[in-house]
């Protein structure tokens, strides 16, 4: 019996987290409100993933003990989030860790990176070529889109390192969320 795929990490829904990078790539071609809307989509993805991880943390069984023994009773079952209210720390850690990680790795850092890459390439194309403005804009957009798959893994690993070196040191507990993002 395999583990159920994570809707926010193992399916097409994951690509919604890259909406703002696509928006930044198209910034030279579309009105600014379209770019901001792409940040809205990415932020909705981040928030939904954080809520999902909080619900999953709340649903983890409290592992009841067999009377008179210090071993877990079988079978282990999932309990409702309301029944797991005695461990709000687990839920809080899962939500905060996921929200901070996703905010940095899916929205803030890649959005800034693609924004600066596109701004620099548009400026360089303007000073180094005699291409018409529409061609420079489309070239900049293509460069931004092409860079997205190249920046994902390095940014993810950097955010893992930064969080492991800082925020995650504050809550290394048995309720620690999974580290694979």
- Encoded tokens for 37: 């809307």
Residues 6 or more apart in contact with residue 175 via CB below 8 angstroms: 57, 87, 89, 90, 93, 94
Q: How many CA atoms lie within 13 A of 23 on its CB side?
A: 25
pTM for the predicted model, two decimal places: 0.79
Percent of the chain residues topping a pLDDT of 90? 63
For 45-95, the pLDDT digits (tens) are 999 999 999 998 888 744 444 444 444 443 444 445 455 455 778 889 999
Looking at every residue in the chain, the average pLDDT score rounds to 84
**CA torsion angle for 80, 14, 118, 104 (degrees, to 10)?**
30
Contact assessment for residue 114 and residue 146, using Cβ atoms and an 8 Å cutoff: no
Beta bridge mates, 72: 65
Span 139-149, pLDDT tens digits: 999 999 999 99
3-class state of residue 72 by DSSP: strand
Inter-residue contact 122 to 29 (CB < 8 Å):
no
The pLDDT of residue 178 is 52
Q: pLDDT tens digits, residue range 100-155?
A: 999 999 999 999 999 999 999 999 999 999 999 999 999 999 999 999 999 999 99
């Amino acid at each position: 019996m395999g583990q159920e795929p994570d809707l926010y990490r193992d399916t097409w829904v994951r690509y919604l987290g890259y909406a703002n990078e696509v928006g930044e790539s198209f910034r030279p071609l579309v009105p600014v409100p379209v770019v901001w809307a792409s940040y809205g989509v990415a932020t909705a993805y981040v928030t939904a993933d954080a809520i999902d991880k909080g619900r999953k943390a709340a649903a983890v069984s409290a592992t009841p003990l067999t009377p008179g023994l210090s071993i877990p009773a079988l079978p282990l079952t999932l309990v409702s989030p309301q029944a797991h209210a005695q461990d709000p720390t687990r839920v809080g850690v899962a939500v905060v860790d996921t929200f901070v990680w996703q905010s940095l790795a899916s929205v803030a850092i890649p959005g800034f990176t693609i924004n600066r890459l596109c701004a620099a390439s548009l400026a360089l194309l303007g000073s180094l070529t005699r291409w018409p403005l529409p061609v420079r804009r489309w070239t900049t957009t293509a460069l931004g889109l092409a860079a997205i798959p190249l920046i994902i893994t390095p940014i993810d690993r950097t955010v893992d390192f930064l969080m492991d070196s800082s925020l995650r040191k504050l809550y290394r507990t048995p309720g620690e969320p999974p580290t694979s993002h």
